[in-house]
Chains A and B, each alone.
Chain A
Amino acid sequence: MVTVNIDGKNVEVLEETSILKAAESAGIWIPTLCYSELFEPYGVCRLCTVEVIRGKRSRLVTSCNYPVREGLTVLTNSDKVKWIRKLIMELTYSRWPNVPVVKDMAAALGVSEPRFKSLEQDLAPDACILCGNCVNICRDVVKASVLSFEGIGIGRKVVLPYNEQSETCIVCGACAQVCPTGHIKIKSLEKERGALQDWYLGPKTAINIPTLQAVPRVPIIDEKSCIKMQTGGCGVCSTYCEPEAINYEAKDEEIEIEVGQILITTGYQTIDLKQMSQYGYGRLDDVYSSLEFEHMLNSTGPTGGTILCKDGSEPRAVGIVHCIGSRDENFHKYCSRVCCMYALKFAHLVKDRTPAEVYQFYIDMRAFGKGYEEFYKRLLDEGVNMIRGKVAEISEGYLNNGDKPYLNIKCEDTLIGKFREIPVDMVILCPAIEPQFDASNIKKIFSISQSPDKFFLERHPKLDPVSTMTDGVFIAGCAQGPKDIPDSVAQASAAAARILSLISLGEVAVDPIKAEVMDEYCSGCRMCNSLCPYSAISFQEEKKISYINDMLCKGCGTCVSACPASAIIGKGFTDKQILAELEGILSV
């Protein structure tokens, strides 16, 4: 511990503490624009200049990076300090007269009008004041060192290498966070983050609980957004976690399990609403996707289940727009099936929890299940406004009396044959259900098929709705096509029963379509050996002929047609059979 005298007060602090910190602990304010506890002090704004007296010698130093020494006397408000501080402030102020932090600091230091004319005056309120916070945090905390200074004197500026988006940048947003003027803007932060968080209302952080119903309900670290995992920097969370539960080394691992049957239930994703700019999703406040609204309705959600607009007010009217991307020639031709009913549920809950008017914009009402039509009828009685027609555009509108802006829904009401404009405060879009973006990979892995809409194709729509073209691979749920929870459960149960019936049999019936070598004709040319994709054909050295392993052969017939001696017969598809077929179909 060392004792220093700051403005006449004796302060006892740890060695190597900066004067600025020591003064702070004594309750003495020293102005600064560039100091942050997050990284090594940089001493660039010079505003924290103080007078240091050691023995008979007095010096002006920057207090943020000047460590205390035993017996040091510090003056933070001497005439000399005041004079130099004001001069520095005037110089800074003259260059960036409109930046709020500079303006406030100037006011605090009693500078109202700078005496200097700046050559490089920057009038933008969000101009870069060269404090270096971004460069320092990127180097010291994030450890990515993406940003750096370029040039000297008045030409100095913060740049990215070659002024291009760098691959080293992990878009953590730390630089934007520490920027005192808001000069740094992150354009596509949301895009870079984990897909899970796309519909998450409320704060988005690298550590989160992905869904409220998560089991076990513990937070996870999003690898893409975690600075520690990306660059090895930060690591703040581990210093706070007392039970030391945070493990940055945990990695995804591949485990190989041998199974006899596979059930594919990879589910669905919702269409990216931002590609339909006319609906204003992501652009206008209070335009929500149905999953976001569902999240808002949840009693453990961000609003505790209260229906609120982004500004905290209760909506006066709510519009629910069906068929966004489904039943649409431009996106998906099919009906997403579940939207009509959950839209009705939303309407019911909005009516239940708020006095708001509810408008449903639908193409056709498809209340297809047990009890659904009755629910639709009940909603009509509750006074929900049903407008049959497709919404053309959602835009922002203003009332004359300076009230808050509303959302204007332009649509065609096909029942009365008129164009209408409906003002609402909140819009809920019902996005189309579509196959997972990587469904084609799954398809390749299991060599199953996809129907034209890219959902997995069942073997037969009526007779075999849960199995696929590949034996032992089954499908259920939205991976096969849009469906609601009861249907998914029913299909999954059917698939499970199919699988169990095969397991209880204990043996698997194999297709009898196989190729067979007729020993007496095989000349042992070995042409077929390399053709077989399953390596089912081997050469018998002692007999000098090829032999097909029945268990490996899948019956494709490639070897049959390649055999120059016609010594291989494809059972079920022999040359004789096919040639006879040919003769038959060409005889008429």
Chain B
Amino acid sequence: MEQEEKEFNPKIVAFLCNWCTYTGADLAGVSRLKSSPCVRIIRVMCSGRVDPSFVIKAFKQGADGVFIGGCHIGDCHYSEGNYKTLRRVEFMKIFLEEFGIDPRRLRLEWISASEGDKYAATTLDFEKQIRELGPIQLVEV
């Protein structure tokens, strides 16, 4: 059992907005900060582009966690895309629970282009949380 846990390498899918969090992740890299190696990034122009079906699809494909990063509220490059994301994520969490997926596996964070350190810290923290939750177990229907 112990051995199994050691081998567990979580797969985290991150949808990052092009203007803030994606640039922030870039900054984390340029600044040589240690961020989570489990994160697999998909760039979108705005966090508002993240369709709930992408999240469901990610979990179905075997992702252990989904991370959505957007600009801070009020700082959205597209004025208000992140408000819509916020709304959707709250809904999605309810649905995930109904699907038998712990809603803690979905995380939304506001990380600006200058917050490379926040990106690094948040992804590491999320990775830790996913490790605690263990590998995702989907109920076959």
Contact = CB atoms under 8 A, between A and B. Distances in A.
Q: Do A and B come from one complex?
A: yes
Interface of A: 444, 447, 449-452, 454, 457, 461, 469, 513, 531, 533-534, 554-558, 560-562, 570, 572-573, 575, 578-579, 581-583, 585-586
B3 interface: no
B121 interface: no
A562 B42 contact: no
Contacts of A558: 46, 48-49, 78, 81, 84
Contact of A581 (B30, B42, B77, B114): B42
Interface residues of B, number: 40
A115 B51 CA distance: 95
B19 A582 contact: no
A412 B76 CA distance: 48
A320 B122 CA distance: 43
Ranked 3 nearest A-B pairs via Cβ: A557-B49, A558-B48, A556-B78
A582 B61 contact: yes
B45 interface: yes
A579 B54 CA distance: 7
A556 B114 contact: no
A583 B63 CA distance: 10
B32 interface: no
B62 A586 contact: yes
A566 B79 CA distance: 23
Contacts of A450: 112, 114
Contacts of B74: 444
Contacts of B51: 560-561, 575, 578
Contacts of A561: 48-52, 54, 88
Contacts of B30: 461
Contacts of A578: 42, 44, 51, 54
A452 B117 contact: yes
Interface in B65-106: 74-81, 84, 88
Contacts of A560: 49, 51
A556 B49 CA distance: 7
A469 B19 contact: yes
Contacts, number: 98
Interface hub of A444, A554, A561 (most chain B Cβ within 10 A):
A561
Contacts of B117: 452
Interface of B: 11, 13, 19-20, 23, 27, 30, 40, 42, 44-46, 48-54, 57-58, 61-63, 74-81, 84, 88, 112-117
A286 to B, nearest CB: 39
A583 B54 CA distance: 11
Given A556-B45, A556-B78, A586-B63, A469 B113 contact: yes
Given A533-B78, A558-B49, 10 more contacts: A457-B113, A531-B84, A534-B79, A557-B49, A561-B51, A561-B52, A562-B84, A570-B45, A586-B62, A586-B63
Given A444-B75, A586-B63, A555 B45 contact: yes
Contacts of B44: 557, 573, 578
25 contacts: A444-B75, A449-B23, A450-B112, A451-B114, A452-B114, A452-B115, A454-B114, A461-B30, A533-B80, A554-B78, A557-B44, A561-B48, A561-B50, A561-B51, A570-B45, A570-B49, A573-B44, A578-B44, A581-B42, A582-B13, A582-B61, A585-B40, A585-B42, A586-B62, A586-B63
A573 B45 contact: yes
Contacts of B84: 531, 558, 562
Contacts of B13: 582, 585-586
A469 B77 contact: yes
A573 B112 CA distance: 21
A585 B58 CA distance: 10
Contact of A583 (B61, B78, B79, B113): B61
Nearest to B55: A582
A534 B44 CA distance: 18
Given A582-B42, A586-B40, A533 B62 contact: no
B26 to A, nearest CB: 10
Given A447-B77, A586-B63, A573 B49 contact: yes
Contacts of B45: 513, 555-557, 570, 572-573
Nearest to B51: A561
